[in-house]
Amino acid sequence: KTRGLLFQGAALSNVLSEWLLKPNVPPSASLVDRLEAYSSARDIAALFILNSNKELLFNTNDDTIVWGEDTLKALDYCVARQEAQLSDFFVSDTGKVCQDHILPIFNDEDTDRQLYGFQILRVELTSLSPYLLRLEQERASLSLYFIARTDDGFRVIQLNREGGSVVNGEGTVYGDLRLEDIESALASDYTLVRKDRHGDIAFWSAKRIPDSEWYFFSKVTSYDFRNRVRRTYLPFLLHWGFVCVIVAALFIFINQKRETERLKQLEEQRRKADLLRLPRELMMKHANECYILTDDRFRILDANDVALSRYGYETKSMLGAPLDLLFTSRSEGTEIHPRLAGAQNGESVDALYVSKEGGISPVELNVRSIEVQGERYYAITAHDTLERKAAERLLRESEERFRSFFNNLAAGVVIHELAVDENGRPIDFSIVDINPQYERWMNVKKEDVVGKRVTQAFNIEKPPHLDAYLLEGNKGPTRPIIQYIPVANRTFEIYAIPLGKGGLATIFVDVTEREKAEKALKDFQAELSETNLKLRQSIKNAKEMATRAQAANVAKGSFLANLSHE
């Protein structure tokens, strides 16, 4: 039944609708069995519902859907032409050949047609549906066949509406086909145009079914009106038929116009009736929180399902009970009734909810006075404030921890906001807050600089490091900048950290001693390098003197030897 509803009004032929509603066929059935049974259960792969922005709203499958180019192209045609479209064949992620049948969804108004979304029926290429969907675009009178070659001819399955399939395989005539028609169409690379055996112009085409010996064969008949005009009463019938169609269309149009106006009037009357309902009914219907209605003595007359569920009472045990059954005043010695009666319309009153077990939790009661036919009623909406109070307490504790950390931090911290000109370009920093360490180092007072721009607070022409922050600040903390600040007589390592949109925190870390140590280390390394150089030169000189002394000893020995010999 659901599958039948999907195809209503979708520009599909009655034949297709009947075929798709045939009984299912087991997956193990052969190709011929599936062709003859016209099962749709193996054809429809998925159903998708999209809104007008082509966003997926409903999917019969759990898998993530990525639309292919063929489907997106067909969607664009569907929007442009405002009619059903078919995508080209494509291979799905599961490796099956598929085709998407796209049906636009419009509103029911005749005067202002608005596109609400799309229904996409994905069909797998396992039997007839893709071919029938493809040929339905031709909007022509056609006959459909499935043909396979055999040893002595062809096996032909003719598709018709009344009897399912008709298998023809005797002689040289296969139903409405002749053997030569089949041979010519199978041999043709494109559509073959010729007369059939009845003398009518026909368009023949054959398409091979993938991974099969079967061909999908179609015959589109085009009647020769020019010859029939001269030998029949067709012009007369066409003339009066056209007149009757025009009259019927005009009659239907007028009736539809009247019916539309009548429906609009009924809808307007229904809308006014809804607006004139008692406030009690409207509030009971639309309230998402605990809603209680009481009389002028604060006896409970009604409560919505949310209140009954939250407070654990049944309707019969709550109706007629005093409001004290649920709530009491937060101030000892005072009743809740006078406070509620004295509250202005829409004013909130703090109270305590008392559970059946005796537990107490804070609530906020919003009170509205209603008069109906001279009688006063109170509409009370109860808001549980336990979570809100807890959240407020956590927020206060978080703020206290942050303030303690901020004030006792060893580094100096300045919180800025970007100041922009009339064109929105950043030109300066505005000081939002500073911590005590920054005050001590820079010798400034918090009340003297907070709320001012940096250039104004420190009497400088250009805000420091603005370009560096604009270049790197949006990506995270900037690279540290080493800078000596004379007013503090210290060297700082400065970081800028973004805080939300247009805010930043500048952190000053005192690295004066580290810089001194690094300078002393560099001086020592330079002195050590110079000493090493002198030592290497002395070693070189000593080696040269030793060489000369050795040469002198050799000369002396030679001289003494010669002298002794002489």
The full 3-state SS of 261-303, as one line of letters, equals HHHHHHHHHHHHHHHCCCHHHHHHHHCCCEEEEECCCCEEEEE
Average pLDDT of the residues in 90-103 = 76
- In single-letter form, the type of residue at position 277 comes to R
Query: How far from each other are the two terminal CA atoms of the chain, in whole angstroms?
Result: 142
Q: Percentage of the chain surpassing pLDDT 70? A: 68
CA separation for the pair 458, 460 (Å, rounded): 6
Other CB atoms within 10 Å distance of the CB of residue 171: 8
**For residue 242, is it within any domain?**
no
Q: What is the DSSP letter of 322?
A: B
Q: What is the pLDDT of residue 22?
A: 44
Q: What CA–CA distance (Å, rounded) separates 430 from 160?
A: 83
Top-ranked range on mean pLDDT: pick from 95-99, 222-226, 306-310, 392-396: 392-396
- CA angle 453-461-419, nearest 5°? 30
- Same domain? For 115 and 148 the reply is yes
Q: What is the pLDDT of residues 284-297, one digit of tens each?
A: 655 667 878 888 88
On whether both 183 and 74 belong to a single domain, the answer is: yes
Over residues 398-414, the mean pLDDT reads 86
- For 465-480, how does the pLDDT look when each residue is reduced to its tens digit (9 = 90+)? 777 777 665 666 678 8
Element containing residue 162 per DSSP (H, E): none
The answer to whether position 121 is within a domain reads yes
In a domain, 534, yes or no: no
Q: Domain for residue 87, yes or no?
A: yes
> What letter does residue 24 receive in the DSSP assignment?
P
Q: Clarify whether residues 366 and 431 are in a common domain.
A: no
Residue 5's pLDDT band, with cuts at 50, 70 and 90, is very low
User: Last residue of a domain, which of 388, 419, 438?
Assistant: 388
**pLDDT category of residue 334 using cuts at 50, 70 and 90:** low
Task: Please tell me the predicted confidence (pLDDT) of residue 285.
Answer: 58
Domain of residue 134, CATH code = 3.30.450.20
Range of the domain at 475: 409-510
Output 355 or 454, whichever has higher pLDDT: 454
Question: What amino acid occupies position 483?
Answer: Q
Task: State the pLDDT at residue 485.
Answer: 85
Q: Please indicate, yes or no, if residue 369 is contained in any of the structural domains.
A: yes
| For residue 418, pLDDT beyond 80 | yes
The answer to whether residue 49 sits within a structural domain is yes
Determine the pLDDT at residue 182: 77
State whether 94 and 128 are in the same domain: yes
Please indicate whether residue 230 or residue 86 has the higher confidence score (pLDDT).
86
Strand, coil or helix: 402: helix
Helices (H), ranges, 352-425: 386-408
Which carries the bigger pLDDT value, residue 419 or residue 135?
419
Taking alpha carbons only, the member of 417, 497, 428 closest to residue 464 is: 428
> Cα–Cα distance between 281 and 277 in angstroms, integer?
7
Count of domains forming the chain = 3
At 144, is the pLDDT very low, low, confident or very high (cuts 50, 70, 90)? Answer: low
Average pLDDT over residues 495-509: 83
351 and 429 part of one domain: no
Q: Residue 60: what pLDDT? A: 67
DSSP state of 313: -
pLDDT at residue 125, rounded to an integer: 62
Quickly list DSSP for 73-119: HHHHHHHHHTS-EEPPPEE-TTS-EEEEEEEEEE-S-SSS--EEEEE
**Residues 370, 423 share a domain:** no
pLDDT at residue 305 in the model: 77
The per-residue pLDDT for 365 is 84
Q: Which of 319, 354, 388 is the last residue of a domain?
A: 388
Say if residue 378's pLDDT is above 80: yes
**93 is written with which tokens?**
């992620």
Is 206 found in the same domain as 329?
A: no
Cα 147 versus chain centre, distance: 47
CB-based contacts of 101, cutoff 8 Å, min separation 6? 10, 84, 86, 120, 121, 122, 123, 133
Q: How confident is the model at residue 248 (pLDDT cuts 50, 70, 90)?
A: confident
Q: Are residues 331 and 416 in the same domain?
A: no
416 and 354: one domain?
no
The segment with the largest mean pLDDT, out of 52-61, 100-109, 260-269, 478-487, is 478-487
Give the tens place of pLDDT for each residue, 24-52: 444 344 434 444 443 333 456 777 878 88
pLDDT at 555: 81
**Which of 469, 492, 510 is the endpoint of a domain?**
510
According to the model, what pLDDT value does residue 476 have? 62
Is residue 192 a part of any domain in this protein?
yes
Residues 320 and 207 in one domain: no
Indicate if the pLDDT at residue 74 is higher than 80.
yes
| Long-range contacts at 451-457 (CB < 8 A, ≥ 24 apart) | 453/419, 453/428, 453/429, 454/416, 454/428, 454/429, 454/430, 455/428, 457/431
Q: What is the mean pLDDT of the chain?
A: 72
Residues 6+ apart with CB under 8 A from 462: 455
Q: Using the predicted structure, report yes or no on whether residue 122 has a pLDDT greater than 60.
A: yes
Residues 99 and 207 in one domain: yes
Q: Please state, in angstroms and rounded to a whole number, the distance separating the CA atoms of residues 84 and 120.
A: 10
What type of residue is 379? A
Whole-angstrom distance, CA of residue 503 vs CA of residue 355: 47
Comparing CA positions, the residue from 281, 302, 282 lying closest to residue 291 is 302
Note whether 183 and 72 are within 8 A (CB): no
The answer to whether residues 160 and 296 belong to one domain is no
Indicate if the pLDDT at residue 333 is higher than 70.
no
Q: Quickly list DSSP for 407-454.
A: HH-SSEEEEEEEEE-TTS-EEEEEEEEE-HHHHHHHT--HHHHTTSBH
